[in-house]
A and B are shown apart, each in its own frame.
Chain A
C-alpha cells in the first residue's frame, strides 16, 4: 500500500528567552493510506507540535514531511493550504468551530473552498450522518460540547480527506459522549478509508489504532512503525 504520510528526521526548535528549546528531535515514521496511528506521551512531549507539523500548520526547521506525495517543506503557505483542503481533515480538542458560522456553514467550508457545487446537500447529509440534521442552523455557542465535536467531525470528513488529524478529540467530553465520538471517528475512518493520526493521553483509545508512537522529551520513545522509526530507549 502507498504511504499517505511520510516524516523524515523532523526537528523543531522554539526560541524561549535566550535559549533554544528543542521540542521535536529527529522524528521519522511513515503511515500507510487508510491506517490509523496514535501519538501518545506526557504533556510537553511535543505531540501537538508533531501533529501541527505533519498537517502543515507550522514551519519545519529540519527534516521533511510529505502528505499524499506532497513535500510540505517545499511548498508555500498557500500551496500547503491547498494540500490541506484537498487531503486533510482536522478534529481539535476544543472543536475549533468558527463561532460566527452555523453548524451547516462550518461543515460547508472545506467543500466550498474546493468549489463543490453541491456543498449544501453534502454538508446537510454529513450532519444527518452525525445525528445533527435538526441542529444545522445553530451557532456553535448554542450547541453542547458533544454536539460541537460531532459538527467538527462532519466538517473534518466533508472534503473526503485522505488523512485525518485529531488532537485529543475526546479530551473535552464526558465518557459517554467521548465513546460516541470515538465510534464515529473510527467508523468514518473505516468506511471512507481515511488514514487517522490521533494525539491522545488516553492509552485505551490509543490501543484501538493500528500503530502507536510514544513521545518523550521531543523524541520517539517507543514505536511500532519500526521500519521508519529510530526507536530510542
Chain B
C-alpha cells in the first residue's frame, strides 16, 4: 500500500530524499576528511619532526648542556635557524629568509626534497646553499648562481622543494635556505642578542614514550634551560594547529545536516498535505489512524534510507577532492581512504534525522478524520493529551539529538550548548516575527490601498497562510547560511591587517645598539621617515606570584601552562602609550629610584592567564632577576602595523640591558624598497628586513586558498538551503495556485496575479531574510567570542548580498510556483483542483 500510494507524488519524495542526500554527503565528506587528517598526523608524526627527539635552545649550547646532550645519544644532527636577508648579486634582489644551517644526517624520518635529489646531502660538502624553489623563481635564480648570506657567498646547489614538518605557507612568508653549519660563524650573522634557535635532532634506538621521558628528564631540561619536543608533542601541536579549521568544517557539516533536517520536515509536511484526502478516504474504508501513519512512515523510511545511502556514497567520493583544497595549508600530503565507520555513521545519522524530523508532520496523520473525505476543510479539534505528550517528547528527543550531534562535531560542551541555544532562540525570534507580521498584515491594511496591494498583504494573514512556516524555514535557512559567511569574514578579518595607504610598510629588526646612529643616517639619506624606533630586551618569566615553573607543573590545580615560563618575552620600555594601545585598567607608573617596578600587560593575554592588577612577576633579564608588579592592562590592536608588546616596562630600568632595536619606516615604491634593502644588506648584513607589502601579498595568496575551502563548505550549505527554500515554497503552492486560478477565471490578468504574488513573497522574503540576518549576526558575535576567539566585525557586503539574494530567491520560487496558473488553461487547473 505504501508503495502504491507513493506513485503519484514521488517528486515531493524526491525533494525529501535530496535534502537528506546533501546533508549526509557533506557530513560524510567532512568526517572522512577529518579521519584522513588524523590518520596522516599519526602516520607521519615522525616525519613531522624528522627525528625522535629535538632538543633546542636560543643560546649556543654550554659545556654543561653539551655533556647532557651527549648522554641522550650519539646519532644526532645539529641545526641552527634564524632570520636574515639573502642577496642575489646577479639581479640585485634581496629578501628576508629563514637561514638553516645543518650538520649531520637530519632528517632521520621523511626527507628534505630537492632538485637534483643529491643536492640534499651534497650541499654540506662546501660553500653551497639549498634555496627555496619559489624564491628562486621569484628572483630568476638558477642552480649554480651565487647568493650572499651575511658576509659569505654561497653557490646554489639545488632547489629546495619540501622540508619535514613545514607547510608551504610558512615557507612563503619566510622562505628557507639551507647552508652547511660550518659556515655559520663566518657569515657574521650571529652576534650577542641575535635570535638564533639551536637544535639537536636525535634518532633513538628505542621509541620515546612521552610520559616516561618527561618523568626522567623534565627536571634536568629545566635546570639546564633547555627545551625539547618529542614526536608525540609535535603530533599534539599539529592537531591543535588544525583546531580552528576543523571547528569550521565541523560547523559546516552540522549546518548542512541541520538544513537537510529542515528540508526533511518541510518536504514531508508538503507531501502529506497532498495526501490528506487520500488518508480520509482510506479511513472511511476502515483504515485505522495507526495503519495510515505506517503507510507514510514506511515511504519516508525507504526514501530516507535511499537518501542516506546516496549521500554517503557522494560524501565518500567528495572527500577525495577535499585534500586538494587544503594543499599547501598542511605540512604533509593526505592519502584518502574509505572509512566504513564514517559511512555507517552517515547512514545511521541520515536515518535518525529522517525518523525524527518526519515524525512531526507524520503525527498529524493520526488526526485526519474520515470526515475530511467529504469536507476537506474539516478540522478535528486540538491535540488531545496523548498527542501533546507525544509531540512534546518528540521535541525533547530532537533537542537531545541536535545537542549530542553538535557536541560530537564541536567536541566542546559549552560551545555545543551555545549553538543549540542559539538555534532555539532563533526559532523563537522567527516565530515571534511571523506572528508580528500576521498581526501587522491584519491591522495595517487600509481600504484606501490598491486592490493588488491589499490582496498581496492580506495573503499574509488569511486562513491557510504560510507566513509562519515560510518565515521560520526561510529565516532559519538564511541564518545558517549567513553564519557561514559571517564566520568566514570574522576569521579572515582576524588575519587581514588593518590600516590605510599611509601605513608603514617596512620593519627592520636585529639592529644592534652600536649600529643605530649609522642606520639612522642611512634612513635619512634615503629620505625615509622613522615611524618607530623601539628597543627590545628579551627575558624569561621566572616566577608568577611566587610560583615557579616546577611548582606549576607539579600542581595541576594551578592551571599555569608550561609555555608561560618557557617562552621568551620580548619587552620594550617607555612611559606612554602608542596609537595602537588603550589603557583599560590601572595606570602606567613611571619608575622611581628604589621603588617597586610596575609593568603593563596586554589585556587579552592577562585575561587568558587570569592575571590581576598587583600580581607579582619575577623576570630573568639575561641573568639579572627583576621583581615586578602588574600596574596596568592595555588593549592592543594587534592588526595595526606597529611593534606591539605583551609586556611593557617603564623607562629607567632596561636601558643598559643587552638589547636590539626595531625600526619601522615607509618606503614609497618597489624601486625604493629594493635599493634601500640592498644598501642595508651591504652595510648591515645582520639586520633583517620585513617588507610588509610582500608579506601582505603572501598572506593574501594564503587567504585566497583558505577562503576557497570555506566557500566550498558554504556552497554545500547554500545548496541545501536552496533546497529547503524550494521545499518551503512548494508547501504554499497548492493554496496559492487555487486562489490565483479562480482570480484568473474572474478576470484577473497575468500582471495582477504576478503583482499579488510579488507583494506577498516580497514581504515574506524581506521579513524572513531580515530576521535570519539579525539572528545570524547575534550568533556569529557569540561564536567569535567563544569559539574563534576573534574580534567580531560586521560583514556589511555579505549582509546586503544575502538580504537581497534571499528576497530574490523567495520571490523567484514564489513566482515559479505560479507558472501553471499563467501557462495552463483555467479549466484544466479547476478540474485538477476539484
A positions within 8 Å CB-CB of B: 48-49, 52, 57-59, 77-78, 81-82, 84-86, 88, 90, 92, 94, 96-101, 105, 109-110, 112-114, 120, 139-141, 155, 159
Q: Given A100-B462, A141-B463, is A81 in contact with B830 using a C-beta cutoff of 8 Å?
A: no
Alpha-carbon gap, A57 to B825, bound state (A): 6
Nearest CB of chain A from residue B273's CB, rounded to whole Å:
14
Contacts of A88 in B (CB 8 A): 747
CB closest chain-A residue, reference B464: A100
How many Å lie between the Cα of A110 and that of B742 in the bound state?
11
Q: Which of B217-250 contact A (CB under 8 A)?
A: none
Our pick among A57, A86, A99 for the contact of B830 (Cβ within 8 Å) is: A57
| Nearest A residue (CB) for B736 | A100
Query: Roughly how many angstroms separate A114 CA and B217 CA in the complex, as a whole number?
Result: 95
Residue in contact with A100 in the complex, picked from B459, B747, B822, CB distance below 8 Å: B459
A57-B827, A59-B825 as given contacts; A100 in contact with B750, CB under 8 Å: no
Whether B825 lies near A110 (C-beta < 8 A) is no
Kindly state whether residue B745 has any CB partner on chain A within 8 Å: yes
Contact B463 A113 (CB under 8 A): no
- The answer to whether B745 touches A90, judged by C-beta atoms less than 8 angstroms apart, is yes
Smallest CB gap from B749: residue in A: A78
The count of chain B contact residues (Cβ–Cβ below 8 Å) is 31
User: When the two chains form their complex, are residues B463 and A100 in contact, meaning their CB atoms are under 8 A apart?
Assistant: yes
Instruction: Give the distance to chain B from A79, nearest Cβ to Cβ, in Å.
Output: 9
With both beta carbons as reference points, the residue of chain B lying nearest to A105 in the complex is identified as B458
A82 to B825, Cβ gap below 8 A?
no
Q: Which residue of B lies closest to A96 (CB)?
A: B742
Q: Which residue of A lies closest to B822 (CB)?
A: A77
For the complex, what is the distance from the CA of A202 to the CA of B520, rounded to whole Å?
A: 111
- The chain A residue with its CB closest to the CB of B828 is A58
* Distance, CA A58 to CA B825, complexed state (A): 5
Q: 20 interchain pairs (CB within 8 A)?
A: A52-B825, A57-B745, A57-B826, A58-B825, A58-B827, A78-B751, A82-B749, A84-B745, A85-B747, A86-B747, A88-B747, A96-B742, A98-B738, A99-B463, A100-B464, A101-B462, A105-B458, A112-B451, A113-B746, A114-B747
Contact A113 B451 (CB under 8 A): yes
Q: Are B746 and A109 in contact (CB under 8 A)?
A: yes
Q: How far is the CB of B751 from chain A (nearest CB, A)?
A: 8
Name the residue among A49, A81, A109, A140 with the largest chain B CB count within 10 angstroms. Answer: A81
Once the chains bind, are A100 and B465 in contact (CB under 8 Å)? yes
Say if the beta carbon of B447 comes within 8 Å of chain A.
yes
Report the separation of the CA atoms of residues A141 and B371 in the bound assembly, to the nearest whole angstrom. Answer: 14
Q: Are A81 and B451 in contact (CB under 8 A)?
A: no
The interface residues of chain A lying within 8 Å CB-to-CB of B462 are 100-101
Is the Cβ of A78 less than 8 Å from the Cβ of B745? no
Residues of B within 8 A of A86 (CB): 747
Chain A: which residue is nearest B465 at the CB level? Answer: A100
Q: For A155, what are the chain B residues with a Cβ–Cβ distance below 8 Å?
A: 746
Cross-chain contact A96 with B830 (CB below 8 angstroms): yes
749-781 of chain B: CB within 8 A of chain A: 749-752
From known contacts A58-B827, A59-B825, A141-B463, infer whether A98 and B739 are also in contact, taking CB-CB under 8 Å.
yes
Q: Are B447 and A120 in contact (CB under 8 A)?
A: yes
Q: Within the complex, what minimum Cβ distance (angstroms) separates A152 from chain B?
A: 11
Query: With the chains together, A113 CA to B451 CA distance in Å?
Result: 8
* Shortest CB distance B759–A (Å): 15
A81 and B744 form a contact (CB under 8 A):
yes
Distance in angstroms between the alpha carbons of A2 and B462 in the assembled complex: 43
Interface string of B96-117 (1 = CB under 8 A from A): 0000000000000000000000
Which B782-834 residues have a C-beta within 8 angstroms of A?
Answer: 822, 825-828, 830-831, 834
Nearest opposing residue in chain A for B829, CB measure: A57
Q: Which 10 pairs of residues, A with B, have the shortest CB-CB distance?
A: A85-B747, A52-B827, A141-B377, A100-B462, A57-B827, A112-B451, A58-B827, A78-B749, A57-B826, A84-B747
A113 contacts B752, CB within 8 Å? yes
Interface pair A159/B742, CB less than 8 Å apart: no
- The answer to whether B750 touches A77, judged by C-beta atoms less than 8 angstroms apart, is yes
Task: Indicate if B743 sits at the interface (CB-CB under 8 A).
Answer: yes
What residues of A have a CB within 8 angstroms of the CB of B463 in the complex? 99-100, 139, 141
Could you say which of A59, A98, A141, A159 contacts B747, with CB atoms under 8 Å apart? A159
The reply to whether the CB of B735 lies closer than 8 angstroms to some CB of chain A is: yes
Collect the chain B residues with CB atoms within 8 Å of residue A96's CB.
Answer: 742, 745, 830
Q: Closest chain B residue to A115 by CB distance?
A: B451
Q: Let me know if A100 and B735 touch, CB within 8 A.
A: yes
Does the CB pair A109–B743 fall under 8 Å? yes
Highest count of chain A CB atoms <10 Å: which of B458, B749, B752: B749
B465 touching A84, Cβ below 8 Å:
no
Q: A92 CA to B834 CA in the complex, in Å?
A: 11
Find the residue from A84, A94, A99 having the highest chain B CB count within 10 A: A99
B748 at the interface (CB under 8 A from A): yes
CB neighbours (8 Å) of B834 from chain A are: 94
Are the CB atoms of B827 and A110 closer together than 8 Å?
no
| Per-position 1/0 for B407-442, Cβ under 8 A of A | 000000000000000000000000000000000000
CA distance A110 to B743 in the complex (A): 8
CA distance A100 to B463 in the complex (A): 5
Is A82 a contact partner of B747 (Cβ separation < 8 A)? yes
CB distance from B467 to the nearest CB of A (A): 12
Cβ of B747 and Cβ of A113 under 8 Å apart? Answer: yes
Q: Which residues of A contact B748 (CB under 8 A)?
A: 81, 85, 109, 113
Tell me the minimal C-beta distance from B93 to chain A in angstroms.
72
Q: Which residue of A lies closest to B454 (CB)?
A: A112
Q: Which residues of A contact B377 (CB under 8 A)?
A: 99, 140-141
B742 touches A98 (CB 8 A): yes
| Minimum C-beta distance from A10 to chain B (A) | 14
A141 vs B463: C-alpha distance when bound (angstroms): 10
From A100, which residue of chain B is reached at the shortest CB distance? B462
Q: Are B825 and A81 in touch, CB under 8 angstroms? A: no
- Min CB–CB distance A159 → chain B (angstroms): 7
Given known pairs A99-B377, A112-B451, the reply for A81 and B749 (CB within 8 Å) is yes
In the bound assembly, the distance between CA atoms of A174 and B377 in angstroms comes to 20
Distance in angstroms from B682 CB to nearest chain A CB is: 83
**How far is A90 from B826 in the complex, measured between Cα atoms in Å?**
13
In the complex formed, the residue of B with least CB distance to A87 is B747
In the complex formed, the residue of B with least CB distance to A78 is: B749
Collect the chain A residues with CB atoms within 8 Å of residue B751's CB.
78
CB distance from B34 to the nearest CB of A (A): 49
Besides the known contacts A57-B745, A98-B738, A100-B739, 13 further A-B residue pairs in the complex with CB atoms under 8 A apart = A49-B827, A52-B826, A57-B826, A58-B827, A81-B744, A81-B748, A84-B745, A99-B377, A100-B459, A100-B464, A100-B735, A113-B752, A155-B746
Chain B 451-474 residues near chain A, CB threshold 8 A: 451, 458-459, 462-465
Task: With CB as the reference atom, state the residue of chain B lying closest to A86.
Answer: B747
A108 (CB) vs chain B CBs: closest residue = B451
| A58→B826 CA distance, assembly (Å) | 7
* Nearest residue, chain A, Cβ from B452: A112
Taken together as a complex, chains A and B put the C-alpha atoms of A101 and B756 apart, in Å, by 14
Which residues of chain B have C-beta atoms less than 8 A from A58's C-beta? Answer: 825-828
Which residue of A52, A78, A97, A112 is within 8 Å of B750 (Cβ)? A78
Question: B706-750: which residues lie under 8 A (CB-CB) from chain A?
Answer: 735, 738-739, 742-750
Please, how many angstroms separate the alpha-carbon atoms of A57 and B738 in the complex?
A: 14
Q: How far is the CB of B722 from chain A (nearest CB, A)?
A: 27
Instruction: Flag if B464 contacts A99 (CB, 8 Å).
Output: yes
Instruction: Give every chain B residue within 8 A of A59 (Cβ-Cβ).
Output: 825
- Chain A residues, Cβ within 8 Å of B739: 98-100
**Complexed CA–CA distance, A110 and B745 (Å):** 10
Residue of A nearest to B823 (CB): A77
Q: Name the distance in Å between B702's Cβ and chain A's nearest Cβ.
A: 55
A52 to B826, CA, bound (A): 9
Q: Contact string, B6-38, partner A, CB cutoff 8 A, digits 1/0?
A: 000000000000000000000000000000000
**Cβ–Cβ < 8 Å partners of A94 in chain B:** 834
Residue of A nearest to B751 (CB): A78
Tell me, in angstroms, the Cα distance from A82 to B748 when the chains sit together: 7
Closest to A119 in B: B451
Could you say which residues of chain B place their CB within 8 Å of the CB of A52? 825-827
Chain A nearest CB from B829 CB (Å) reads: 9
Contact residues in B for A114 (Cβ distance below 8 Å): 747
